[in-house]
Amino acid sequence: MKVVPKEQLVDQVGTKTTSDWVTMDQGRINAFADCTEDHQFIHLDEEKAAQTPFGGTIAHGFLSLSMLPKLSEGQGVVPENVMMGINYGMNKVRFLAPVRAGKKIRAHTELVNVDQKDDNRFLLTSSVTVEIEGEETPALVAETLTMLVCA
């Protein structure tokens, strides 16, 4: 994580980062299915899912999306004295390819805009691409919004 004076945050537009790999194992997929009550067979039934074009179970698209906080952990740029970051929403999300159980994903993020709301709040817009290890098509692309609050 790069820390800069508040006055220099806007100068960081264009900063790019890449996260570490995270494995999307079947246990994580099962836990997400239980949390969201989305128990569709393509996520849980390995035998039945093997008969689909996916060739096995896949992570929920929303599971891949929900991994963005983990994938952005320790990444990017923040102003000095930041107290917290708040998920402010998204402008765009597209699920481009399924993530097969056992595959690894990582995020490529670019800071595309900084909007200073007042002396202590900054709205950051980032472009995120979630890569699937060994695959050409990414799992998803998104434009995320994060509100940073400084002391």
pLDDT band at 135 (very low <50, low <70, confident <90, very high): very high
Q: For the chain, which residues make up each domain, given as ranges?
A: 2-23+59-150
129-145 mean pLDDT: 98
138-150 mean pLDDT: 98
Tokens in use for 147?
């509100």
Contacts of 6 (CB under 8 A, 6+ apart): 79, 80, 81, 116, 119, 122, 150
For the chain, percent of residues with pLDDT exceeding 70: 100
Q: Which pLDDT score is estimated for 107?
A: 98
Virtual CA dihedral for 85, 109, 95, 124, nearest 10 degrees?
Answer: 40
Give pLDDT tens digits for 3-53. Answer: 999 999 999 999 999 999 999 999 999 999 999 999 999 999 999 999 999
Tell me how far apart the alpha carbons of residues 129 and 141 are, in angstroms, rounded to a whole number.
4
Q: What dotted CATH number matches 2-23+59-150?
A: 3.10.129.10
Tell me how far apart the alpha carbons of residues 18 and 106 are, in angstroms, rounded to a whole number.
7
